[in-house]
Homo-oligomer: A and B are copies of this chain.
Amino acid sequence: MSNTPVADGRATSCAACPLRQKRALREFSADELAIVQRMKTGELRMKPGASFLRQGERNEHFYTILSGWAFRYKMLPDGRRQILNYALPADLVGLQGSLMVEMEHSVEALTDVTLCAFPRERLWTLYSNSPSLAFDITWLAAREEQLVDEHLLTLGQRTALERTAYVLLHLYTRAEEVGLTRGSDPVHLPITQQHLADTLGLSLVHTNKTLKRLHVAGMIRWKDRLFEVLDRQALAAAAGGDITRIRQRPFI
C-alpha cells in the first residue's frame, strides 16, 4: 500500500490531518492512514446549536471531531436535560448509533464544528482490514465510558462545590490535552452557566452561586467565555482529587 497522500476533492487528506501533529495522539502507519482515508467520505460543518446526532434516530455516519466543541446529552420527555460529556477535537461521536439500532443520546455543537464523516457500513470493513484500528476504536469507546463513570461518581457522591470544581478542572485538562490553551493559561470555554448546570445536575441559580464561591476563593476566573485556573492545587483539592490524565491516545 502506498503512503502517498490521496488526492481527492475532500477538504483534508488524512496524512495532512492537523490533529496528527498533537503530541497526545499516537502515530499511524502508512497502511492505517490509507485505510482511514478510504473510509472517510468527507467533512461536515456544523453551526453552534445544531444537533447533528439525535436520540431515537438511526445515523448513517459516525464522526471524528476535527475542530470545535460539542456535547452529548440525553433528555427526559418533560424537557429536563442531562449533559453526559463534552466532545473535543480527536473525539469520536456517534459510534454507539452505528453499532446499535439507533442513538440513545444526542450531540449538539457548541462552536463551529468540523467533522470527519465515516459511513456506518464501512466500520465492518475497518474491522476486517485493520485489527489495530479496530483496537483503537474499542479503546476510544472504553475511554468514553471511563469518563462517564467518573462523571457518575461526581453526580452521585460529590457536593455542589466539589462537582463544580471537578467538572471545570476536567474540562480545562482535556482542553489542554488537545492543545486548546493558547499561550499559557486561559481557555475559550464555549458554554453557558446553563450548560454547566445541566452537566452538574444542579439548578442554574445554585450553579451560579457555587461558581461565585470558587471565584471568591481565588481558584478560577471565568468571564466572557474565557476560563482560567488561578490555583490548580486548591481547585483539585476542592474537587477531591486531581483529574486522571491520559498519556498517549489513539484517534481515527
Contacts and interface: CB of A to CB of B under 8 A. Distances in A.
Interface of A: 72, 74, 76-78, 80-82, 84, 95-96, 99-101, 104-105, 124, 127-128, 131-132, 134-135, 137-139, 141-146, 148-153, 155-158, 198, 200-201, 240-241, 244, 247
Given A127-B134, A142-B99, A240 B149 contact: no
30 contacts: A72-B149, A74-B149, A74-B152, A74-B153, A76-B153, A76-B240, A76-B241, A80-B157, A81-B157, A82-B152, A82-B156, A84-B149, A84-B152, A96-B142, A99-B138, A99-B142, A100-B139, A100-B143, A124-B135, A134-B135, A134-B138, A137-B138, A138-B138, A141-B141, A141-B145, A145-B148, A152-B152, A152-B155, A155-B201, A157-B201
A74 B150 contact: yes
A139 B99 contact: yes
Contacts of A155: 152, 155-156, 201
Copy number in the complex reads 2
Nearest to A146: B104
A82 B96 CA distance: 24
A101 B150 CA distance: 16
Contact of A142 (B141, B146, B200): B141
Contacts of A146: 96, 100, 104
A130 to B, nearest CB: 9
A169 to B, nearest CB: 15
B99 A149 contact: no
